[in-house]
Chains A and B, each alone.
Chain A
């Protein structure tokens, strides 16, 4: 055992234990660590946004290089602050309308490409998929899974006849998906615990390398 002599490591270990104390019950140490984290993160974000974004992307081009066009984004940004002035607070709609319009125009075609076109292509039984027996088998399973799941979410017809067993098969695929997601979630949570224990047992107490 070789405990750290770095006071920052001790502080980090103390804050970790404060957070872990919530597992017993809610307490003042947990709330202290939680509020400290939120405050530090917010302060860090403000400082970083100023130094990495506002200064090089707005202040320098507008006020140092004299590029007058940058007044437009500055004016749009200032419109957000009209929210605090009741007489002018309608002006906040300008940047929001711009962002919504621009964002939708940019995102919708890309969404369509990413989630509809390419994903539909991925379910097609093309010749290359059958170059190996296992990839061919999985291609068929994916096709059946996609169709049965889509039929499960097809609410325009009563679930009877041929639709019923296919929809029930869709439920099995959905449950398999939920199971995989849950398994991965457990893995993620255990990983977080491992990370903290590696820090406590390694960097803090020096029990492990």
Chain B
């Protein structure tokens, strides 16, 4: 049967086009598939939720570039919305050079929602090269690694940094990581060596690698890809910290349809393959 043989030879451009439609249509006409929150996402949310305005600051490290923006940028916004809503102080930094652009973009977007004062409510340390030296140095004295912030202000001139010397003065580190340097190094140097509490948000590609560390409580909560971001957005929305349409949640219908289509293609390809093999 030619039909079964043709299943193994579907032109790749047809596949690309079909997936493009399957992803685009639910973005234009949303289906509204509900988002189920996984325990590891809830764990990270609860870790931030337990903090108060008197708590030590949260350190968010944007270890990603624009290529991972659809997965990790919504996480950055959601975590910062939660922190800002609860008046939890935030320190931002980046182990990737392009991460600084992501932070600035996020701060600009959130400045319309929250009236937060730089140096009092949040600080942006910027980017540093040399991950091991940076993370180990921060474990001893953050000023040694970052004598000035991203904008050139001495750290001593920033009120928030007055009582923040090293990891002992940080309640939770959240790394939003797309590869190396990223969550592995934070786990290696900040968590294993200095005992810092670490939450991780990663692209879906890396998610399977993080699970063993969540099981052993080396990692306090995990956000896995766009799904993890949408779960966090849902939790933030349920608590009333923000309202409106969120990017990751908006994309989940498209994600589900895209997956469904790929599964169909895999099944069709296998049916065609086994039929032609049996014929031979």
Enumerate chain A interface residues (CB-CB to B < 8 A). Answer: 23-24, 41, 44-45, 48-49, 52-53, 56-57, 60-61, 103, 106-107, 109-111, 113-114, 118-119, 121-122, 142, 177, 180-181, 184-188, 190-198, 201, 207-209
Q: Which residues of chain B are within 8 angstroms of A56 by Cβ–Cβ distance?
A: 146-148, 152
Of chain A, the residue at the smallest CB distance from B178 is A188
B71 at the interface (CB under 8 A from A): yes
* A110-B193, A187-B255 as given contacts; A60 in contact with B147, CB under 8 Å: yes
Assembled-state Cα–Cα distance A28/B67 (Å): 21
Q: SS class of chain B's interface: helix, strand, loop or mixed?
A: helix
Of chain A, the residue at the smallest CB distance from B262 is A186
B28 touches A190 (CB 8 A): no
A188 touches B203 (CB 8 A): yes
Q: Which residues of chain B are within 8 angstroms of A207 by Cβ–Cβ distance?
A: 28
B132 touches A106 (CB 8 A): yes
B216 touches A197 (CB 8 A): no
B188 touches A195 (CB 8 A): no
Closest-CB distance, B42 to chain A (whole angstroms): 16
Assembled-state Cα–Cα distance A190/B204 (Å): 10
Assembled-state Cα–Cα distance A60/B19 (Å): 53
B132 touches A103 (CB 8 A): yes
Interface string of B109-152 (1 = CB under 8 A from A): 00000000000000000111100100010000000011110101
* A184-B225, A186-B259, A191-B70 as given contacts; A121 in contact with B216, CB under 8 Å: yes
Q: Which residues of chain B are within 8 angstroms of A193 by Cβ–Cβ distance?
A: 19-20, 23, 258
Q: Which residues of chain B are within 8 angstroms of A196 by Cβ–Cβ distance?
A: 70
